[in-house]
Amino acid sequence: MASPTTLDPFSILVVEDHPAVRSMLVHMLHNAGAQTIWQANSRQQAQALFQDHHPDLVLLDVILPDGTGLEVVEHIRALEASTHNSVWTPILFLSSLHDEQAIWQGIEAGGDDYLVKPVTATILSAKLRAMQRLLNMRRQLMGISQDLQNANERLNHLVEVDGLTGLVNRRGFDRLLELEYRSALREQQPLSLILCDIDFFKHYNDACGHLQGDLVLKQASHLLSSVCLRPRDVAARYGGEEFALVLPNTPKAGALTLARGLTHVFKQYPQPHPHSSAADYITLSGGIVTLDPHAHPNTGAHRDQLIMQADIALYAAKARGRNRFVHIDEV
């Protein structure tokens, strides 16, 4: 008999309807170093124990009094598939030599290996070693996969963040606007978009220098972020001194209220602008557009049309003296 094997923490479900055979298997498993063992004598009990405990390994008799091991395998694999977390529990079939067809069907259904009864301690210990290596490799692969997923998420975050202002950049804005546009149509909720830029920013840059201009962009970004109070509200740097606000579940009245608040915030925290005809401090001009599926249930507007309309409203705000926001309905 093989000497006891030192295993990592390892739990096993033994499914065997013959009490003497099951007792012998449990004894050998304990000697081999298994820590936790659950016992089942039927298909129904096996499925219930697996669902409750999710063991690391299943030793499964091919023939059971209320069904077959094949049915247990199908149940386990269906349960694992429903969790969507890439779990795969190794399954070892227990069979007599004349059960070859059942073994083949079980392996096809998702089993991993088999043992021929009567099982010897040496073979059982070796199979446990092999199955634990398989389990450890799968765990390592799952860990690597999760690490890669986390790294990709961090990379995507970096790719979609503007380096100067810390706001979502143009790439992130395009993606988020598309998502919120589809969500607004699906949920039949309004979506508002505000495009704005800093008034006479080129004059400021020419007079004060680009380093000071960068500071103005950072301060403007901070103030824009400060009015995005809900989790899905997004402030983005659209390009240069242009910014965008994506406001899900926001009707026209709500967008206009936020725009007035934004104008007040810039006045409350003034950054001097010596070369602006709009005010003696940094100001914004903005255009607003609102997609309202209830008001226009058959709208075929694409998100690009929302941007175009917001841009038209922005130019209207500039034409009317700047330091103001104009909704496209008012153009």
CA-to-CA distance for 273 and 207, rounded, in angstroms?
Answer: 9
The pLDDT assigned to 154 comes to 66
CA-to-CA distance for 113 and 321, rounded, in angstroms?
Answer: 79
Half-sphere exposure in the Cβ direction for 122 (13 Å, CA)? 2
Extract the tokens encoding 32: 């081999």
Within the chain, which residue ranges are assigned CATH 3.40.50.2300? 11-150
The pLDDT assigned to 2 comes to 40
Cα–Cα distances in angstroms (integers) from residue 78 to residues 86, 136, 238, in the given order:
12, 22, 47
Extract the tokens encoding 115: 């043992």
Which residues are catalytically annotated? 241
The pLDDT assigned to 301 comes to 58
CA-to-CA distance for 127 and 133, rounded, in angstroms?
Answer: 10
Mean pLDDT of each 10-residue bin along the chain, 331 residues long: 52 92 90 87 93 90 87 89 75 78 78 84 84 77 73 68 92 94 92 97 93 95 93 95 97 95 94 93 96 67 87 96 95 87
Q: Is the dihedral of CA 16, 17, 20, 23 positive or negative?
A: positive
291: β partners: 191
Q: Is the dihedral of CA 100, 16, 31, 112 positive or negative?
A: positive
One of 3.40.50.150, 2.60.40.10, 3.30.70.270, 3.90.1150.10 is the CATH number of 170-330, namely 3.30.70.270
Phi/psi of residue 145, nearest 5 degrees: -60, -40
Within the chain, which residue ranges are assigned CATH 3.30.70.270? 170-330
Report whether 200 contacts 323 (CB < 8 A).
Answer: no
The pLDDT assigned to 4 comes to 45
The pLDDT assigned to 155 comes to 60
CB atoms inside a 10 Å sphere around CB 266 = 21
Q: What is the pLDDT of residues 171-191, one digit of tens each?
A: 999 999 999 999 999 999 999
The pLDDT assigned to 102 comes to 73
CA-to-CA distance for 227 and 244, rounded, in angstroms?
Answer: 12
The pLDDT assigned to 33 comes to 79
Report whether 72 contacts 15 (CB < 8 A).
Answer: yes
Class of the domain covering 11-150: alpha beta
**HEC assignment per residue over 82-132:** HHCCCCCCCEEEEECHHHHHHHHHHHHHCCCEEEECCCCHHHHHHHHHHHH
Residue with tokens 């963040």: 161
